[in-house]
Amino acid sequence: MTEETETKTAVTPTPPTENASASATPPPASTPTRSPSRPAAAAPTTPARDPVLEERAIRRGCFSIIFGAALGAIVGAALTLALLAWMNNGLLTYNDANVTLRMQLDGEIATREALAAEQATAIYAMDEASNRMNETMATAEADMAALRVTAVYLETRIASAGNASDTLNEFISGLSTVLLSLTPAPTTLPEATPTP
Domain boundaries, the chain: 61-91, 93-170
Question: 100-109, 151-160, 183-192: which range is least confident on average?
Answer: 183-192
Cβ distance 36 to 8 under 8 Å?
yes
Query: In whole numbers, what is the pLDDT of the chain averaged over residues?
Result: 79
Question: 5-19, 34-48, 82-96, 101-115: which range is least confident on average?
Answer: 5-19
pTM: 0.33
Mean pLDDT along residues 18-26 = 51
d(CA 119, CA 121): 5
Q: HEC states along the chain?
A: CCCCCCCCCCCCCCCCCHHHHHCCCCCCCCCCCCCCCCCCCCCCCCCCCCHHHHHHHHHHHHHHHHHHHHHHHHHHHHHHHHHHHHHCCCCCCHHHHHHHHHHHHHHHHHHHHHHHHHHHHHHHHHHHHHHHHHHHHHHHHHHHHHHHHHHHHHHHHHHHHHHHHHHHHHHHHHHHHHHHHCCCCCCCCCCCCCCC
Q: What is the pLDDT of residues 101-146, one digit of tens each?
A: 889 999 999 999 999 999 999 999 999 999 999 999 999 999 999 9
pLDDT the model gives residue 46: 65
Indicate whether 149 pLDDT > 80. yes
Indicate whether 57 pLDDT > 70. yes
pLDDT the model gives residue 43: 55
pLDDT the model gives residue 9: 47
Mean pLDDT along residues 185-192 = 72
Comparing 40 with 151, which gets the higher pLDDT? 151
Question: 34-38, 73-77, 105-109, 190-194: which range is least confident on average?
Answer: 34-38
Comparing 128 with 92, which gets the higher pLDDT? 128
Comparing 113 with 195, which gets the higher pLDDT? 113
Q: How confident is the model at residue 91 (pLDDT cuts 50, 70, 90)?
A: low
